[in-house]
Amino acid sequence: MRMMGTEETIAQVHPRKLCNALWNVASNAGCTLVQGRVVSPVHTDEGKLVGAKLADGTVLDADALLFACGPWTTNAMAGVKYHSVIVPTSRVLSQSVFFDGCGDPEVYPRPDSTAYLCGFPDPAVVVQEQPGEEEVRPEAVKRILDAVKEASGGIQEGAALGSESVVESSCYLPTTADGLPIMGELPEESAGGAKCYVAAGHSCWGILLGPATGESMAHLIATGKSLEHMDLRPFNPSRFRGIRL
């Protein structure tokens, strides 16, 4: 067994709680949320961005457009499907566990007396499933539960981890061929004009790197330059020939 750190040196980020907290700050600052599927940017004949067209035909005024849609962002993206399971715990646990063997399952305890379990990623594919409609395969869920049971010596009476799931889900980790995120302005020939940006491809580090990505992209859109402490050149979308939305 190898210790990765203590409660003084590492912490777990809860994706939904982080997103809700960030949105609360944004909405209190006057931002509004419009739900819909963007089908295309809208440019003038001269290539100036003037808006975003939604699937229902609505056009939202815009002078910059950032696409951050995970594996659905560009044709240069692939997705690695992971299944996950949330199980009850007999008490609030404080230690995450990453098993080496038995399929390398991972266990993340949460402060509401549950634990998040995942493992056994699928191969990377071009994602065909739509967001929010990802299939949850029962055999994949069972495989995770069985692996955690085996790695932890079985679920005994009074054990910390429960044996039955309360939530079962699946998602895709957005990846690229070179393993680096795609962050920056798209070439005009790829987007049909100027001022279209992308930020995606962070794989399993998306939530952790999300705030820094947001800061970097906001600065780039507002000033046309990278932050002094964040050189975006290695992540430029133009490194992928023929990239498009």
Tens of pLDDT, residue by residue over 158-167, are 567 776 788 9
- Give the confidence band of 20 by pLDDT, cuts at 50, 70, 90: very high
So what's the pLDDT on residue 233?
94
Q: For the chain, what is the mean pLDDT?
A: 91
pLDDT at 64 over 60: yes
CB 42 within 8 A of CB 49: yes
So what's the pLDDT on residue 175?
97
Q: Report in angstroms the alpha-carbon separations of 111 from 90, 96, 116, 156, 162.
A: 12, 12, 11, 22, 15
Q: What is the pLDDT of residues 23-56, one digit of tens each?
A: 999 999 999 999 999 999 999 999 999 999 999 9
So what's the pLDDT on residue 194?
93
- Give the confidence band of 92 by pLDDT, cuts at 50, 70, 90: confident
pLDDT at 154 over 70: no
So what's the pLDDT on residue 159?
65
Would you give the DSSP letter of residue 113? Answer: T
CB 11 within 8 A of CB 17: no
Q: In this predicted model, which residue has the larger pLDDT, 1 or 129?
A: 129
16: enclosing H helix or E strand: helix 15-28
pTM comes to 0.88
pLDDT at 156 over 80: no
CA dihedral 48, 50, 52, 57 (to 10 degrees): -120
So what's the pLDDT on residue 4?
79
Share of residues in the chain with pLDDT > 90 (%) = 71
135: enclosing H helix or E strand: none
Distance CA(107)–CA(94), nearest Å, equals 11
